[in-house]
Structure 1
Amino acid sequence: MKRLLLLMMLIWRQQLKLYLIAALAGAVIGILVLAPSYDYINAREQDADALSSIEYMLSQVKDLLMGRISQNNLLLIIFYAEIGAMIGVLSLGLYKVIHHRFMPIDRLKSELDKDLPSIIRQGEGPYLEFKSTFRWDLAESRINRALEGVVLKTLAGFLNSHVGGTLLIGVADNGEILGLEKDYQTLKRPDQDGFEQALMTSISSNLGADLCSFVHVLFHVIDRKDVCRLIVSPSRRPVFLDQGNGPKFYVRTGGATRDLNIQEALDYVPGRWKRLK
Protein backbone atom coordinates (compact mmCIF):
# COMPACT_ATOMS: atom_id res chain seq x y z
CA MET A 1 0.00 0.00 0.00
CA LYS A 2 2.83 2.41 0.87
CA ARG A 3 4.43 1.65 -2.47
CA LEU A 4 1.21 2.44 -4.33
CA LEU A 5 0.68 5.68 -2.37
CA LEU A 6 4.22 6.81 -3.14
CA LEU A 7 3.73 6.14 -6.84
CA MET A 8 0.41 7.98 -6.86
CA MET A 9 2.01 10.98 -5.14
CA LEU A 10 4.60 11.13 -7.91
CA ILE A 11 1.86 11.08 -10.54
CA TRP A 12 -0.05 13.88 -8.80
CA ARG A 13 3.14 15.95 -8.56
CA GLN A 14 3.70 15.57 -12.30
CA GLN A 15 0.08 16.55 -12.96
CA LEU A 16 0.45 19.67 -10.80
CA LYS A 17 3.59 20.70 -12.70
CA LEU A 18 1.79 20.27 -16.01
CA TYR A 19 -1.16 22.44 -14.93
CA LEU A 20 1.18 25.09 -13.50
CA ILE A 21 2.98 25.27 -16.85
CA ALA A 22 -0.37 25.60 -18.64
CA ALA A 23 -1.43 28.37 -16.25
CA LEU A 24 1.87 30.22 -16.72
CA ALA A 25 1.63 29.94 -20.51
CA GLY A 26 -1.94 31.23 -20.38
CA ALA A 27 -0.92 34.13 -18.15
CA VAL A 28 1.83 35.14 -20.60
CA ILE A 29 -0.69 35.05 -23.45
CA GLY A 30 -3.07 37.15 -21.36
CA ILE A 31 -0.38 39.76 -20.74
CA LEU A 32 1.14 39.85 -24.22
CA VAL A 33 -2.01 39.31 -26.33
CA LEU A 34 -5.29 39.78 -24.48
CA ALA A 35 -4.43 42.99 -22.63
CA PRO A 36 -2.92 44.80 -25.67
CA SER A 37 -5.87 43.61 -27.78
CA TYR A 38 -8.30 45.21 -25.35
CA ASP A 39 -6.32 48.45 -25.38
CA TYR A 40 -6.16 48.46 -29.18
CA ILE A 41 -9.91 47.92 -29.59
CA ASN A 42 -10.57 50.70 -27.09
CA ALA A 43 -8.15 53.02 -28.88
CA ARG A 44 -9.72 52.32 -32.29
CA GLU A 45 -13.19 53.03 -30.95
CA GLN A 46 -11.96 56.42 -29.81
CA ASP A 47 -9.89 56.93 -33.00
CA ALA A 48 -6.97 57.62 -30.74
CA ASP A 49 -4.34 55.67 -32.67
CA ALA A 50 -3.75 54.99 -36.34
CA LEU A 51 -1.29 52.15 -35.82
CA SER A 52 -2.07 48.69 -37.14
CA SER A 53 -3.08 46.06 -34.62
CA ILE A 54 0.33 44.32 -34.73
CA GLU A 55 2.23 47.61 -34.40
CA TYR A 56 0.05 48.67 -31.51
CA MET A 57 0.46 45.35 -29.67
CA LEU A 58 4.23 45.44 -30.18
CA SER A 59 4.38 48.97 -28.79
CA GLN A 60 2.36 47.90 -25.77
CA VAL A 61 4.66 44.95 -25.16
CA LYS A 62 7.67 47.25 -25.46
CA ASP A 63 6.17 49.65 -22.90
CA LEU A 64 5.50 46.71 -20.61
CA LEU A 65 9.08 45.45 -20.85
CA MET A 66 10.44 48.98 -20.31
CA GLY A 67 8.29 49.41 -17.21
CA ARG A 68 6.22 52.25 -18.65
CA ILE A 69 2.91 51.12 -17.12
CA SER A 70 0.27 53.18 -15.39
CA GLN A 71 -1.54 51.94 -12.29
CA ASN A 72 -4.74 51.32 -14.26
CA ASN A 73 -2.87 49.42 -16.97
CA LEU A 74 -1.10 47.34 -14.34
CA LEU A 75 -4.40 46.27 -12.83
CA LEU A 76 -5.72 45.48 -16.29
CA ILE A 77 -2.63 43.40 -17.09
CA ILE A 78 -3.02 41.44 -13.85
CA PHE A 79 -6.68 40.83 -14.67
CA TYR A 80 -5.88 39.50 -18.14
CA ALA A 81 -3.04 37.41 -16.75
CA GLU A 82 -5.55 35.72 -14.45
CA ILE A 83 -7.98 35.24 -17.34
CA GLY A 84 -5.19 33.79 -19.48
CA ALA A 85 -4.10 31.42 -16.71
CA MET A 86 -7.65 30.11 -16.34
CA ILE A 87 -7.96 29.65 -20.10
CA GLY A 88 -4.65 27.76 -20.14
CA VAL A 89 -5.75 25.37 -17.41
CA LEU A 90 -9.19 24.81 -18.97
CA SER A 91 -7.65 24.26 -22.40
CA LEU A 92 -5.28 21.64 -21.02
CA GLY A 93 -8.12 19.86 -19.25
CA LEU A 94 -10.29 19.89 -22.38
CA TYR A 95 -7.43 18.64 -24.55
CA LYS A 96 -6.74 15.75 -22.18
CA VAL A 97 -10.39 14.72 -22.11
CA ILE A 98 -10.67 14.72 -25.90
CA HIS A 99 -7.28 13.10 -26.40
CA HIS A 100 -7.94 10.29 -23.93
CA ARG A 101 -11.33 9.56 -25.47
CA PHE A 102 -10.16 9.30 -29.06
CA MET A 103 -6.66 7.86 -28.62
CA PRO A 104 -7.85 4.36 -27.58
CA ILE A 105 -10.33 4.33 -30.45
CA ASP A 106 -7.60 5.17 -32.99
CA ARG A 107 -5.30 2.53 -31.56
CA LEU A 108 -8.02 -0.11 -31.56
CA LYS A 109 -8.97 0.69 -35.16
CA SER A 110 -5.34 0.47 -36.22
CA GLU A 111 -4.97 -2.92 -34.53
CA LEU A 112 -8.20 -4.28 -36.04
CA ASP A 113 -6.98 -3.37 -39.51
CA LYS A 114 -4.09 -5.83 -39.15
CA ASP A 115 -4.42 -9.31 -40.63
CA LEU A 116 -4.08 -11.91 -37.85
CA PRO A 117 -2.16 -14.60 -39.82
CA SER A 118 0.31 -11.91 -40.89
CA ILE A 119 0.71 -10.81 -37.27
CA ILE A 120 1.43 -14.39 -36.19
CA ARG A 121 4.05 -14.82 -38.91
CA GLN A 122 5.90 -11.77 -37.55
CA GLY A 123 6.49 -13.62 -34.29
CA GLU A 124 6.54 -12.34 -30.71
CA GLY A 125 7.92 -8.91 -29.92
CA PRO A 126 7.52 -5.88 -27.63
CA TYR A 127 3.85 -5.46 -28.58
CA LEU A 128 2.86 -9.06 -29.33
CA GLU A 129 2.93 -12.24 -27.28
CA PHE A 130 1.61 -15.78 -27.78
CA LYS A 131 0.18 -18.09 -25.12
CA SER A 132 -0.66 -21.70 -25.87
CA THR A 133 -3.52 -21.87 -23.36
CA PHE A 134 -5.25 -19.90 -20.64
CA ARG A 135 -5.49 -22.57 -17.92
CA TRP A 136 -4.90 -26.01 -19.51
CA ASP A 137 -1.44 -27.48 -18.94
CA LEU A 138 -0.49 -29.22 -22.18
CA ALA A 139 2.52 -30.95 -20.64
CA GLU A 140 0.59 -32.47 -17.70
CA SER A 141 -2.85 -32.70 -19.36
CA ARG A 142 -4.66 -30.99 -16.50
CA ILE A 143 -5.98 -27.63 -15.34
CA ASN A 144 -3.15 -25.45 -14.06
CA ARG A 145 -4.31 -22.19 -12.46
CA ALA A 146 -0.73 -20.91 -12.44
CA LEU A 147 -1.02 -20.48 -16.21
CA GLU A 148 -3.73 -17.86 -15.63
CA GLY A 149 -1.15 -15.91 -13.64
CA VAL A 150 1.22 -15.98 -16.62
CA VAL A 151 -1.49 -14.51 -18.84
CA LEU A 152 -2.32 -11.86 -16.22
CA LYS A 153 1.34 -10.93 -15.91
CA THR A 154 1.51 -10.28 -19.65
CA LEU A 155 -1.68 -8.24 -19.55
CA ALA A 156 -0.33 -6.17 -16.64
CA GLY A 157 2.84 -5.51 -18.62
CA PHE A 158 0.85 -4.29 -21.63
CA LEU A 159 -1.46 -2.19 -19.44
CA ASN A 160 1.53 -0.49 -17.82
CA SER A 161 3.24 0.16 -21.15
CA HIS A 162 2.99 3.37 -23.15
CA VAL A 163 1.22 1.82 -26.15
CA GLY A 164 -0.38 -1.41 -24.93
CA GLY A 165 -0.07 -4.60 -26.95
CA THR A 166 -1.72 -7.76 -28.26
CA LEU A 167 -1.90 -11.16 -26.61
CA LEU A 168 -2.95 -14.21 -28.62
CA ILE A 169 -4.19 -17.25 -26.69
CA GLY A 170 -4.24 -20.54 -28.54
CA VAL A 171 -0.97 -19.91 -30.38
CA ALA A 172 2.32 -21.61 -29.49
CA ASP A 173 5.57 -19.66 -29.13
CA ASN A 174 6.64 -20.80 -32.61
CA GLY A 175 3.39 -19.53 -34.16
CA GLU A 176 1.66 -22.93 -34.41
CA ILE A 177 -2.14 -22.64 -34.09
CA LEU A 178 -3.23 -24.81 -31.14
CA GLY A 179 -6.75 -23.46 -30.63
CA LEU A 180 -8.82 -23.13 -27.47
CA GLU A 181 -10.51 -26.55 -27.40
CA LYS A 182 -8.61 -27.74 -24.31
CA ASP A 183 -9.43 -24.53 -22.45
CA TYR A 184 -13.09 -24.79 -23.45
CA GLN A 185 -13.27 -28.19 -21.77
CA THR A 186 -12.36 -26.62 -18.42
CA LEU A 187 -15.31 -24.20 -18.49
CA LYS A 188 -18.90 -24.58 -17.37
CA ARG A 189 -19.85 -22.99 -20.67
CA PRO A 190 -17.42 -24.54 -23.20
CA ASP A 191 -17.51 -21.89 -25.91
CA GLN A 192 -16.26 -18.43 -26.78
CA ASP A 193 -18.68 -16.66 -24.42
CA GLY A 194 -17.64 -18.89 -21.52
CA PHE A 195 -13.97 -18.30 -22.27
CA GLU A 196 -14.41 -14.52 -22.41
CA GLN A 197 -16.37 -14.56 -19.16
CA ALA A 198 -13.66 -16.59 -17.39
CA LEU A 199 -10.98 -14.27 -18.73
CA MET A 200 -12.75 -11.09 -17.66
CA THR A 201 -13.51 -12.53 -14.22
CA SER A 202 -9.82 -13.26 -13.76
CA ILE A 203 -8.83 -9.75 -14.86
CA SER A 204 -11.43 -8.15 -12.61
CA SER A 205 -10.44 -10.22 -9.56
CA ASN A 206 -6.68 -9.93 -9.90
CA LEU A 207 -5.98 -6.64 -11.69
CA GLY A 208 -9.09 -4.53 -11.09
CA ALA A 209 -12.63 -4.36 -12.46
CA ASP A 210 -11.94 -0.94 -13.99
CA LEU A 211 -9.31 -2.48 -16.26
CA CYS A 212 -11.70 -4.78 -18.11
CA SER A 213 -12.60 -1.94 -20.46
CA PHE A 214 -8.95 -1.67 -21.52
CA VAL A 215 -8.85 -5.29 -22.72
CA HIS A 216 -10.76 -5.93 -25.94
CA VAL A 217 -11.55 -9.58 -26.63
CA LEU A 218 -11.92 -10.94 -30.17
CA PHE A 219 -12.10 -14.48 -31.51
CA HIS A 220 -10.74 -15.67 -34.83
CA VAL A 221 -10.93 -19.03 -36.56
CA ILE A 222 -7.68 -20.17 -38.19
CA ASP A 223 -7.35 -23.68 -39.61
CA ARG A 224 -10.73 -24.44 -38.03
CA LYS A 225 -9.34 -23.62 -34.59
CA ASP A 226 -10.38 -20.75 -32.32
CA VAL A 227 -7.79 -18.15 -31.34
CA CYS A 228 -8.49 -15.47 -28.73
CA ARG A 229 -7.07 -12.06 -29.55
CA LEU A 230 -6.70 -9.63 -26.64
CA ILE A 231 -6.02 -6.06 -27.72
CA VAL A 232 -4.75 -4.23 -24.65
CA SER A 233 -4.87 -0.44 -24.36
CA PRO A 234 -2.58 1.46 -21.96
CA SER A 235 -4.09 1.80 -18.50
CA ARG A 236 -4.85 5.18 -16.95
CA ARG A 237 -3.29 4.10 -13.67
CA PRO A 238 -0.43 1.88 -12.49
CA VAL A 239 -1.44 -1.79 -12.51
CA PHE A 240 -0.19 -4.22 -9.87
CA LEU A 241 -0.55 -8.00 -9.80
CA ASP A 242 -0.47 -9.87 -6.49
CA GLN A 243 0.10 -13.61 -6.90
CA GLY A 244 0.49 -14.35 -3.22
CA ASN A 245 3.92 -12.84 -2.60
CA GLY A 246 2.98 -9.17 -2.58
CA PRO A 247 1.94 -6.79 -5.39
CA LYS A 248 4.35 -6.57 -8.32
CA PHE A 249 4.62 -3.96 -11.05
CA TYR A 250 5.18 -5.46 -14.51
CA VAL A 251 6.32 -3.79 -17.75
CA ARG A 252 7.24 -4.97 -21.22
CA THR A 253 10.96 -4.93 -21.98
CA GLY A 254 11.79 -6.13 -25.46
CA GLY A 255 9.77 -9.25 -26.10
CA ALA A 256 9.37 -10.19 -22.44
CA THR A 257 7.49 -9.07 -19.33
CA ARG A 258 9.36 -8.45 -16.11
CA ASP A 259 8.64 -6.95 -12.71
CA LEU A 260 10.41 -3.78 -11.64
CA ASN A 261 12.00 -3.27 -8.27
CA ILE A 262 10.85 -0.31 -6.18
CA GLN A 263 13.48 2.10 -7.51
CA GLU A 264 12.84 1.16 -11.12
CA ALA A 265 9.09 1.57 -10.60
CA LEU A 266 9.58 5.00 -9.01
CA ASP A 267 11.60 6.07 -12.03
CA TYR A 268 9.16 4.58 -14.54
CA VAL A 269 5.77 5.71 -13.22
CA PRO A 270 6.13 9.54 -13.39
CA GLY A 271 7.19 9.40 -17.04
CA ARG A 272 4.44 6.95 -17.95
CA TRP A 273 1.45 8.66 -16.29
CA LYS A 274 2.41 12.34 -16.24
CA ARG A 275 -0.14 13.14 -18.99
CA LEU A 276 -2.97 11.08 -17.58
CA LYS A 277 -5.90 11.73 -15.26
Structure 2
Amino acid sequence: MKKLAVVEGGSIAGIVSLTDIANRHPELVESLKNRNSGVSDDIFELLNLSEGQHLEFKSSLRYDYNTKQVNQCLEKVVLKTICAFLNAEGGTLLIGLSDEKDVVGIENDYRVIRNQNQDGFENHLLGLVSNCIGNYYLQYISVRFHNVLGKDLCQVNIQSCPKPAFLNNGDKQEFFVRTGNNSRPFAISEASDYIREHWR
Protein backbone atom coordinates (compact mmCIF):
# COMPACT_ATOMS: atom_id res chain seq x y z
CA MET A 1 0.00 0.00 0.00
CA LYS A 2 1.49 3.36 -0.94
CA LYS A 3 2.06 6.08 1.64
CA LEU A 4 -0.02 9.21 1.49
CA ALA A 5 1.62 12.58 1.85
CA VAL A 6 -0.20 14.46 4.58
CA VAL A 7 -0.17 17.86 2.95
CA GLU A 8 -3.64 18.32 1.56
CA GLY A 9 -6.84 19.58 3.11
CA GLY A 10 -5.14 21.81 5.64
CA SER A 11 -3.67 18.86 7.59
CA ILE A 12 -0.76 19.85 9.81
CA ALA A 13 1.57 18.25 12.35
CA GLY A 14 0.68 14.74 11.21
CA ILE A 15 -3.02 15.17 11.97
CA VAL A 16 -5.00 13.52 9.21
CA SER A 17 -8.57 14.30 8.26
CA LEU A 18 -10.47 11.05 7.75
CA THR A 19 -13.04 12.87 5.68
CA ASP A 20 -10.35 14.06 3.26
CA ILE A 21 -8.87 10.58 2.99
CA ALA A 22 -12.24 8.90 2.51
CA ASN A 23 -13.16 11.39 -0.22
CA ARG A 24 -9.84 11.30 -2.08
CA HIS A 25 -8.85 7.68 -1.52
CA PRO A 26 -11.92 5.44 -1.02
CA GLU A 27 -9.84 2.44 -2.08
CA LEU A 28 -7.54 3.01 0.90
CA VAL A 29 -10.43 3.00 3.36
CA GLU A 30 -11.76 -0.20 1.82
CA SER A 31 -8.31 -1.76 1.97
CA LEU A 32 -7.95 -0.82 5.64
CA LYS A 33 -11.33 -2.35 6.42
CA ASN A 34 -10.36 -5.61 4.75
CA ARG A 35 -6.93 -5.94 6.39
CA ASN A 36 -6.53 -8.04 9.51
CA SER A 37 -5.36 -5.00 11.45
CA GLY A 38 -7.71 -4.98 14.42
CA VAL A 39 -9.83 -2.24 12.86
CA SER A 40 -13.47 -3.32 12.81
CA ASP A 41 -16.17 -2.15 10.43
CA ASP A 42 -18.11 -0.38 13.15
CA ILE A 43 -15.36 2.19 13.73
CA PHE A 44 -15.61 3.30 10.10
CA GLU A 45 -19.38 3.54 10.42
CA LEU A 46 -18.94 5.74 13.49
CA LEU A 47 -16.35 7.92 11.77
CA ASN A 48 -18.85 8.62 9.00
CA LEU A 49 -21.39 9.96 11.50
CA SER A 50 -21.64 13.36 13.14
CA GLU A 51 -21.89 14.06 16.85
CA GLY A 52 -25.44 13.72 18.10
CA GLN A 53 -27.74 12.06 20.61
CA HIS A 54 -25.70 8.85 20.67
CA LEU A 55 -22.19 9.92 19.60
CA GLU A 56 -19.53 12.24 21.02
CA PHE A 57 -15.92 12.92 19.96
CA LYS A 58 -13.13 13.99 22.32
CA SER A 59 -9.57 14.67 21.26
CA SER A 60 -8.09 13.44 24.55
CA LEU A 61 -8.79 12.25 28.07
CA ARG A 62 -6.40 14.52 29.97
CA TYR A 63 -3.76 15.90 27.58
CA ASP A 64 -4.41 19.53 26.69
CA TYR A 65 -3.34 20.28 23.11
CA ASN A 66 -3.33 24.01 23.83
CA THR A 67 -1.08 24.00 26.90
CA LYS A 68 0.79 20.78 26.00
CA GLN A 69 0.29 19.42 29.51
CA VAL A 70 -2.20 17.58 31.74
CA ASN A 71 -5.54 19.30 32.23
CA GLN A 72 -7.77 17.46 34.69
CA CYS A 73 -10.73 19.59 33.61
CA LEU A 74 -10.73 17.54 30.41
CA GLU A 75 -11.26 14.39 32.46
CA LYS A 76 -14.32 15.99 34.01
CA VAL A 77 -15.70 16.77 30.54
CA VAL A 78 -15.31 13.10 29.57
CA LEU A 79 -17.04 12.03 32.79
CA LYS A 80 -19.91 14.45 32.11
CA THR A 81 -20.41 12.80 28.72
CA ILE A 82 -20.40 9.30 30.20
CA CYS A 83 -22.82 10.35 32.95
CA ALA A 84 -25.13 12.01 30.40
CA PHE A 85 -25.24 8.87 28.22
CA LEU A 86 -25.97 6.70 31.28
CA ASN A 87 -28.92 8.94 32.13
CA ALA A 88 -30.36 8.99 28.61
CA GLU A 89 -30.44 6.35 25.88
CA GLY A 90 -26.79 5.35 26.02
CA GLY A 91 -24.20 6.21 23.40
CA THR A 92 -20.62 6.00 22.18
CA LEU A 93 -17.71 8.23 23.11
CA LEU A 94 -14.69 8.24 20.78
CA ILE A 95 -11.48 9.57 22.32
CA GLY A 96 -8.61 10.54 20.04
CA LEU A 97 -10.76 12.26 17.43
CA SER A 98 -11.34 15.99 17.23
CA ASP A 99 -14.72 17.64 16.63
CA GLU A 100 -13.58 18.10 13.02
CA LYS A 101 -12.93 14.33 12.78
CA ASP A 102 -9.17 14.75 12.66
CA VAL A 103 -7.41 11.65 14.00
CA VAL A 104 -5.13 12.92 16.77
CA GLY A 105 -4.92 9.61 18.63
CA ILE A 106 -4.47 9.04 22.35
CA GLU A 107 -0.69 8.60 22.33
CA ASN A 108 -0.24 11.94 24.12
CA ASP A 109 -2.58 10.67 26.84
CA TYR A 110 -0.38 7.58 27.19
CA ARG A 111 2.55 9.83 28.08
CA VAL A 112 0.72 11.36 31.06
CA ILE A 113 -0.69 8.24 32.75
CA ARG A 114 1.07 5.66 34.93
CA ASN A 115 1.10 2.71 32.54
CA GLN A 116 1.68 4.22 29.12
CA ASN A 117 -0.34 1.85 26.95
CA GLN A 118 -3.91 0.79 26.17
CA ASP A 119 -4.30 -1.13 29.44
CA GLY A 120 -3.07 1.87 31.41
CA PHE A 121 -5.46 4.16 29.56
CA GLU A 122 -8.44 1.87 30.18
CA ASN A 123 -7.55 1.46 33.86
CA HIS A 124 -7.21 5.22 34.29
CA LEU A 125 -10.52 5.93 32.56
CA LEU A 126 -12.47 3.29 34.49
CA GLY A 127 -10.80 4.42 37.71
CA LEU A 128 -12.17 7.91 37.08
CA VAL A 129 -15.65 6.47 36.53
CA SER A 130 -15.37 4.40 39.70
CA ASN A 131 -14.22 7.34 41.82
CA CYS A 132 -16.46 10.06 40.38
CA ILE A 133 -19.64 8.23 39.31
CA GLY A 134 -19.50 4.89 41.12
CA ASN A 135 -18.52 1.23 40.81
CA TYR A 136 -22.09 0.20 40.10
CA TYR A 137 -22.04 1.95 36.71
CA LEU A 138 -18.94 0.15 35.41
CA GLN A 139 -21.11 -2.77 34.28
CA TYR A 140 -22.80 -0.46 31.76
CA ILE A 141 -19.53 0.72 30.21
CA SER A 142 -17.22 -1.14 27.82
CA VAL A 143 -13.93 0.00 26.30
CA ARG A 144 -12.20 -1.07 23.11
CA PHE A 145 -9.35 0.28 21.03
CA HIS A 146 -8.80 0.73 17.30
CA ASN A 147 -5.69 1.66 15.36
CA VAL A 148 -6.64 3.98 12.53
CA LEU A 149 -3.96 5.39 10.23
CA GLY A 150 -1.28 4.52 12.77
CA LYS A 151 -2.98 6.21 15.73
CA ASP A 152 -4.93 4.66 18.59
CA LEU A 153 -8.56 5.60 19.19
CA CYS A 154 -10.52 4.60 22.29
CA GLN A 155 -14.17 3.66 21.82
CA VAL A 156 -16.26 3.85 25.00
CA ASN A 157 -19.70 2.25 24.71
CA ILE A 158 -22.17 3.38 27.37
CA GLN A 159 -25.51 1.68 27.94
CA SER A 160 -28.60 3.36 29.29
CA CYS A 161 -28.64 2.74 33.03
CA PRO A 162 -31.64 1.49 35.05
CA LYS A 163 -31.00 4.04 37.78
CA PRO A 164 -29.78 7.67 37.84
CA ALA A 165 -26.05 8.41 37.65
CA PHE A 166 -24.59 11.43 39.41
CA LEU A 167 -21.16 12.97 38.94
CA ASN A 168 -19.38 13.62 42.24
CA ASN A 169 -17.68 17.00 42.04
CA GLY A 170 -16.06 17.81 45.35
CA ASP A 171 -18.77 18.16 47.97
CA LYS A 172 -21.65 18.23 45.48
CA GLN A 173 -23.32 15.89 43.03
CA GLU A 174 -24.13 16.94 39.48
CA PHE A 175 -26.69 15.43 37.10
CA PHE A 176 -26.27 15.40 33.31
CA VAL A 177 -28.49 14.17 30.48
CA ARG A 178 -27.62 13.72 26.81
CA THR A 179 -29.87 15.94 24.71
CA GLY A 180 -28.98 16.21 21.04
CA ASN A 181 -25.23 16.68 20.76
CA ASN A 182 -24.82 18.13 24.26
CA SER A 183 -24.40 16.79 27.78
CA ARG A 184 -26.67 19.16 29.66
CA PRO A 185 -26.52 19.87 33.40
CA PHE A 186 -29.87 19.70 35.16
CA ALA A 187 -30.78 21.77 38.20
CA ILE A 188 -32.10 19.88 41.25
CA SER A 189 -35.75 20.51 40.38
CA GLU A 190 -35.21 19.56 36.73
CA ALA A 191 -33.31 16.42 37.74
CA SER A 192 -36.12 15.38 40.09
CA ASP A 193 -38.72 15.74 37.35
CA TYR A 194 -36.55 13.93 34.80
CA ILE A 195 -35.78 11.06 37.18
CA ARG A 196 -39.45 10.64 38.03
CA GLU A 197 -40.42 10.50 34.34
CA HIS A 198 -37.44 8.58 32.93
CA TRP A 199 -37.28 5.79 35.52
CA ARG A 200 -40.97 5.41 36.38
TM-score, length basis structure 2: 0.77
Identity of aligned residues (%): 39
Conserved? CA contact 1:160–1:250, under 8 Å: yes
Q: Report the structure number with the largest CA radius of gyration.
A: 1
The structure with the largest strand share of the pair is 2
Corresponding residue for residue 150 of structure 1: 77
Deviations 1:238-272 (A, max 9, x none): 11112236211100111001111122112211221
- Residue 102 of structure 2 aligns to a residue whose secondary structure is coil
Distance 1:255 1:245, change over 3 A: farther
Specify which of 200, 215, 240 is matched with residue 126 of structure 2: 200
Corresponding residue for residue 258 of structure 1: 184
Which runs of no fewer than 5 residues in structure 2 stay unpaired? 1-39
Corresponding residue for residue 272 of structure 1: 198
Shift of 1:187: 1.6
Corresponding residue for residue 248 of structure 1: 174
When the two chains are superposed, the root-mean-square deviation of aligned CA atoms in Å is 1.3
Conserved? CA contact 1:134–1:147, under 8 Å: yes
Aligned length: 161
Corresponding residue for residue 100 of structure 2: 174
Which residue identity is paired with 1:171? L
Return the alpha-carbon distance in structure 2 between the equivalents of residues 188 and 265 of structure 1: 36
Return the alpha-carbon distance in structure 1 between the equivalents of residues 76 and 169 of structure 2: 7
| Residue correspondence of structure 1 range 2-21 to structure 2 within 5 A | none
Corresponding residue for residue 224 of structure 1: 150
- Residue 156 of structure 2 aligns to a residue whose secondary structure is strand
Deviations 1:53-92 (A, max 9, x none): xxxxxxxxxxxxxxxxxxxxxxxxxxxxxxxxxxxxxxxx
Instruction: Please say if 1:129 is aligned against 2:56.
Output: yes
Distance 1:122 1:266, change over 3 A: same
Return the alpha-carbon distance in structure 2 between the equivalents of residues 193 and 185 of structure 1: 13
Specify which of 138, 162, 166 is matched with residue 212 of structure 1: 138
Which runs of no fewer than 5 residues in structure 1 stay unpaired? 1-112
Conserved? CA contact 1:121–1:175, under 8 Å: no
Shift of 1:127: 0.4
Return the alpha-carbon distance in structure 2 between the equivalents of residues 196 and 189 of structure 1: 10
Moved over 4 A (4+): none
